[in-house]
Amino acid sequence: MHWSSPVDGYRLAYDRAGQGRPVVLLHGWPGDRSDFADVAARLAADVLLPDLRGFGESDKSPASGAAEPADYGAAGQARSVVGLLDELGLSRVVVAGYDVGSRVAQTIAAHYPDRVTALVVAPPLPGAGRRVLEPDAQSEFWYQAFHQLQLVEELVDGRPDAVRAYLRHFWSHWSGPGFTPTDSRLDHLTERYCPPGAFTASIGWYRAGSGMIRQSLAEAPPACRIAAPTTVLWPEFDPLFPRAWSDRLGEWFADVELHHVDGVGHFSPVEAPDAFAAAVQRAVERTDLT
């Protein structure tokens, strides 16, 4: 494990392995950089695996001790990842992610287009719009409202049994029918999320307004679409993101391919590392040809 230099007062913990074209893999909530361990092991590339701000072993608050809600949002997370690339002298990279990491990857591609050779992302993606307010969607996205409440800190933060039960719910409910999170996976994530303040830092993403509901209700197709070639991997059994919501991708991405990943749920890099790694490797190899 390595530490980055601070950006906005936050250091990122990260792993780096392999040789070749650089690839950055960005994890989701409630996970950490180990979400992509099996994908990274399958890649012929120079792979960076960071924990995002407020997650895993990365800093939960800035060196000054005065965190702002926006610190944990997409723009702040993107600044930290780009700062790590600058520190390592990596000018252009393939960026891949799912969940929180997908939004951060898209933000990097939109705001730092010269740094991204290709994107490989799973939901969330833009285009859902007001469909997030439909009853079926609201029954799944309840946690984003809950994360705005002080009550979540009183009930979950710093309580190992509560943290484990909360994480187990999402890792079980959001995954596909053939996947069950192992005790060792839950033990690892509980260890990362249970120190006092760690769980609260992780939900800073939602408190910064970066969650799906707020983003979808505010979204509008941009004047300039993301130019980087983009591969979208859409799972079959993700209860948060029905495949019908993939119908507007072309409004946000200038060069996009949609691939269905059958049999799996929300945690696509964990549930389907072969498919995710194959998509990233194809992006790397296309980069080699340009």
Q: Of 48, 47, 103, which Cα lies nearest the Cα of 76?
A: 103
Give CA–CA dist 161/5, Å, rounded: 34
Q: What is the mean pLDDT of residues 138-151?
A: 96
Q: What is the mean pLDDT of residues 189-200?
A: 97
Res. 18: pLDDT tops 90 = yes
Residue 288 — pLDDT band, cuts 50, 70, 90? low
What's the chain's average pLDDT? 96
Q: Which of 14, 72, 166, 206 is catalytic?
A: 206
**In the prediction, which pLDDT does 65 show?**
75
In the chain, what is the straight-line distance between the N-terminal and C-terminal CA atoms, in Å?
32
Side-chain half-sphere exposure of 28, counting CA atoms within 13 A: 21
The answer to whether 110 and 27 have CB atoms below 8 angstroms apart is no
Give CA–CA dist 114/168, Å, rounded: 39
The answer to whether 28 and 39 have CB atoms below 8 angstroms apart is no
Give CA–CA dist 63/7, Å, rounded: 10
Give CA–CA dist 212/194, Å, rounded: 24
**Residue located via tokens 């994890």:** 27
Residue 60 — pLDDT band, cuts 50, 70, 90? very high
Length of the chain in residues, anyone? 290
Q: In this predicted model, what pLDDT tens digit does every residue of 80-133 receive, in sequence order?
A: 999 999 999 999 999 999 999 999 999 999 999 999 999 999 999 999 999 999
DSSP per residue, 90-120: --SEEEEE-THHHHHHHHHHHH-GGGEEEEE
Side-chain half-sphere exposure of 130, counting CA atoms within 13 A: 0
Residue 69 — pLDDT band, cuts 50, 70, 90? confident
Side-chain half-sphere exposure of 94, counting CA atoms within 13 A: 28
Distances in Å between the alpha carbon of 10 and those of 61, 71, 245?
A: 7, 9, 34
Number of domains in the chain: 1
Considering the entire predicted model, what is its pTM?
A: 0.96
Q: In this predicted model, what pLDDT tens digit does every residue of 262-279 receive, in sequence order?
A: 999 999 999 999 999 999
- Find residue 258's DSSP bridge partners: 232
Q: Which of 32, 35, 99, 238 is catalytic?
A: 99
260 is annotated as an active-site residue: no
CATH of the domain at 39: 3.40.50.1820
What tokens does 206 get?
């939602």
- Measure the CA dihedral 174/179/180/183, to 10°: -110
266 is annotated as an active-site residue: yes
Domain that includes residue 208, residue range:
2-289
Residue 68 — pLDDT band, cuts 50, 70, 90? confident
What tokens does 248 get?
């507007």
Q: In this predicted model, what pLDDT tens digit does every residue of 202-241 receive, in sequence order?
A: 999 999 999 999 999 999 999 999 999 999 999 999 999 9
188 is annotated as an active-site residue: no
